[in-house]
Structure 1
Amino acid sequence: MSRVKEFDVDEACDAALALFRRQGYEATSVSDLVAHLGVAKASLYATFGTKHDLYVATLKRYAERTDAQVVASLSRPGSGVAAVRGLLEGYVADIAGDAGPIGCFVVNAAIELLPRDPAVARLVERSWDTLEVALTMTLERAKAQDELPEGSDPATLARFLLTVLQGLRVLGKGADAAGRLDAAVSQAMRILIRD
């Protein structure tokens, strides 16, 4: 007869996600995880596998959640340019709030572990691809609504915005980032708005 787990796996995964997001992969030890999750080391290994397995699972969980939120916000009916503006401003608001110094888990993982970790690289690339496709579709809608400057290519603009968004996340980890972030968003919007 198998033993019943003594902890909630989803709660433990969320707790591990918060710890990895705050400390990073390398700085988080198995002892840190055991103490933070309040589980025995044997239970941790039996449920999640290695520390790396747990890290990958938490990164996948985080990316799926945040990617779904971004796709939903960009998919709402209405102006495509307004949807992009809302996304950019939402990133800045998130950075100015609690997430600022902690940063985006996907960006943190890319900075810490790419290119040497193939499993993490796949998840990061998948998240970036999801964002780029969602931006492209939104900008296609904006083009059909005659909101973009003449000759704009939605796919190229989406790639540019992906770079801006990830750059916002990186710069947001620094001190006094507000001026830089606001200036970047303003410039990105000037590129998108039809005269």
Structure 2
Amino acid sequence: MGRTREFDTEAALGRAMTLFWSRGYEATSMRDLTRHLGIGQGSLYAAFGDKDGLYRAALDHYRATLAADALRDLRQEGDARSAIRSMMIGRIRIATSADGRGCLAVNAACERLPHDAGTRTVVREMQEASREALADVLRAARQRGEIAERHDPDALAGFLVTFLNGLLVAAKVSPDADALEPLVDVALTALD
């Protein structure tokens, strides 16, 4: 009979997510993880397989919590411009916090995609969910007359996701929300 898991998996994933987010995959050792999570290496391997498995689980945790919250808030706002602006400003503030840790998904794309197909899949799914959510908001906005009929909601959503990714990389380089936030208003002129 196997031993029962003696730690809270969700709490461990939250702590692992925070550590990977602040340090990156390569700079985070198994020793760092076991210390930060407060669990033994055997328990970590039993629960997540290996460091790659824990990293992808931490990305999934990020997707299910922070990324999902941003998309839910996007869909609950009133007009499209305000909703998109609010979502992007929120992402900037998160990315510039903690000395510019950036966005975990964008960090993963920059650090791991050439080496890890599993991470590529998780990041691609997050990007696609963002693009679809934005396209839905933009379609509804076009029907309400908030944006011109000539706009393609899918192309605009793709542009906005690409812009946001670049903005989140910039947040790591120069973690100054006050300097980055006006750029959102420039990007939103694409809706004119």
Provide the TM-score with structure 1 as the length reference. Answer: 0.90
Q: Report the alpha carbon displacement of residue 117 of structure 1 after superposing the two structures with TM.
A: 1.0
Alignment deviations for residues 12-31 of structure 1 (CA, whole Å, 9 cap, x no partner): 12111111111111111111
Match of 1:2 in 2: 2
1:48 is aligned to 2:48: yes
Letter in 2 for 1:74: L
SS at match of 2:173: coil
Alignment deviations for residues 48-88 of structure 1 (CA, whole Å, 9 cap, x no partner): 21111111111111112233212211222631222112212
Report if the CA contact (8 A) 1:70-1:131 is conserved.
no
1:101 is aligned to 2:113: no
Distance (whole Å) between structure 2 residues aligned to residue 17 and residue 95 of structure 1: 14
Instruction: Kindly report the root-mean-square deviation, in angstroms, between the aligned alpha carbons of the 2 structures.
Output: 1.8
Match of 1:156 in 2: 155
Match of 2:13 in 1: 13
Structure 2: which 5+ runs fail to align? none
Letter in 1 for 2:35: A
Q: Report the alpha carbon displacement of residue 100 of structure 1 after superposing the two structures with TM.
A: 5.5
Change in Cα spacing, 1:34 to 1:93, as seen in structure 2 (3 Å) is closer
Change in Cα spacing, 1:94 to 1:42, as seen in structure 2 (3 Å) is closer
Letter in 2 for 1:151: R
Report if the CA contact (8 A) 1:79-1:145 is conserved.
no
Distance (whole Å) between structure 2 residues aligned to residue 100 and residue 189 of structure 1: 27
Q: Report the alpha carbon displacement of residue 178 of structure 1 after superposing the two structures with TM.
A: 3.8
Higher helix fraction (1 or 2): 2
86-95 or 163-172: bigger deviation: 86-95
Match of 2:113 in 1: 114
Distance (whole Å) between structure 1 residues aligned to residue 175 and residue 44 of structure 2: 39
Match of 2:134 in 1: 135
Change in Cα spacing, 1:27 to 1:95, as seen in structure 2 (3 Å) is closer
Letter in 1 for 2:78: G
Provide the TM-score with structure 2 as the length reference. Answer: 0.91
SS at match of 2:142: helix
Aligned length: 192
Change in Cα spacing, 1:177 to 1:12, as seen in structure 2 (3 Å) is same
Structure 1: which 5+ runs fail to align? none
175-184 or 131-140: bigger deviation: 175-184
Letter in 2 for 1:145: R
Change in Cα spacing, 1:125 to 1:99, as seen in structure 2 (3 Å) is farther
Change in Cα spacing, 1:134 to 1:176, as seen in structure 2 (3 Å) is closer
Runs of 4+ in 1 over 3 A off after TM superposition: 176-180
Distance (whole Å) between structure 1 residues aligned to residue 143 and residue 5 of structure 2: 53
Q: Report the alpha carbon displacement of residue 176 of structure 1 after superposing the two structures with TM.
A: 5.7
Distance (whole Å) between structure 2 residues aligned to residue 76 and residue 179 of structure 1: 25
Match of 1:188 in 2: 187
Match of 2:79 in 1: 79
